[in-house]
Chains A and B, each alone.
Chain A
Amino acid sequence: NAGVTQTPKFRVLKTGQSMTLLCAQDMNHEYMYWYRQDPGMGLRLIHYSVGEGTTAKGEVPDGYNVSRLKKQNFLLGLESAAPSQTSVYFCASSLRRGLTDTQYFGPGTRLTVL
């Protein structure tokens, strides 16, 4: 049981390049989330999904797209990377999107955009 895994762990992009971050969970969780973590800003929700085939915008969705084609995977795409997207990205999942549910986090992806 690996929990939540993220690929890659590190990436350096040039401005304008595109990339996809992969999140996978093996806990059969319904809900998945993408956050970014910036110094002094804490965690900010980018997009989330309440089930296979569904996605919704979070607090800071601009410049990102997501897809949830399979229940266990949640992809985060950057179509044209900008230096403002330099951050640490965390994926999380929860059994259901409920009031008391615990989120389980992946180890993070450190992205630098030059």
Chain B
Amino acid sequence: GNSVTQMEGPVTLSEEAFLTINCTYTATGYPSLFWYVQYPGEGLQLLLKATKADDKGSNKGFEATYRKETTSFHLEKGSVQVSDSAVYFCALSVLSGGSYIPTFGRGTSLIVHP
């Protein structure tokens, strides 16, 4: 089946630190990969996505590269801000049994201190 594994949180950083949140996946086909972000009290919103191997998705200083050889899509940011405190979800979409079933990871909470 399809699955997404994310590093457990919370991840606690000081402002301006470097961020990495690991994400690996298993999929029965060739998936598209996504990172969604959930700010406190809100629904999820798309942060970035990549649709084929070696693609790099980027947005708001975050980036992730689709690595087919390691089945990974790690999220990185060079200098985090307090406002980046949120829960981050890695997700995939792949054709399975005639439908595109979205699969989400469990989420990783990021806490950034001033």
Instruction: Evaluate contact between A105 and B44: CB separation under 8 angstroms.
Output: yes
Tell whether B95 is near chain A: CB-to-CB under 8 Å: yes
Q: Which of B22-58 contact A (CB under 8 A)?
A: 31-32, 34, 36, 41-46, 49, 51
Complex interface: chain B residues within 8 A of A98 (CB): 93, 100
Indicate which residue in B44, B101, B107 contacts A90 across the interface (CB closer than 8 Å).
B44
Report the bound CA distance from A104 to B42 in whole Å: 12
Tell whether A99 is near chain B: CB-to-CB under 8 Å: yes
**B43, closest chain A residue (CB):** A105
Complex interface: chain B residues within 8 A of A58 (CB): 101
Instruction: Evaluate contact between B102 and A33: CB separation under 8 angstroms.
Output: yes
Instruction: Evaluate contact between B32 and A40: CB separation under 8 angstroms.
Output: no
Indicate which residue in B44, B46, B89, B94 contacts A99 across the interface (CB closer than 8 Å).
B94
Report the bound CA distance from A58 to B105 in whole Å: 16
Complex interface: chain B residues within 8 A of A100 (CB): 32, 49, 51, 93
Known: A100-B32, A100-B51. A40 touches B93 (CB 8 A): no
Known: A4-B43, A105-B45. A43 touches B89 (CB 8 A): yes
**A41, closest chain B residue (CB):** B106
Report the bound CA distance from A105 to B43 in whole Å: 5
Instruction: Evaluate contact between B100 and A103: CB separation under 8 angstroms.
Output: no
Instruction: Evaluate contact between A99 and B106: CB separation under 8 angstroms.
Output: no
Instruction: Evaluate contact between A102 and B46: CB separation under 8 angstroms.
Output: yes
What are the 6 tightest A-B residue pairs by CB atom distance, in nearest-first order? A105-B43, A42-B106, A43-B104, A105-B44, A102-B46, A100-B51
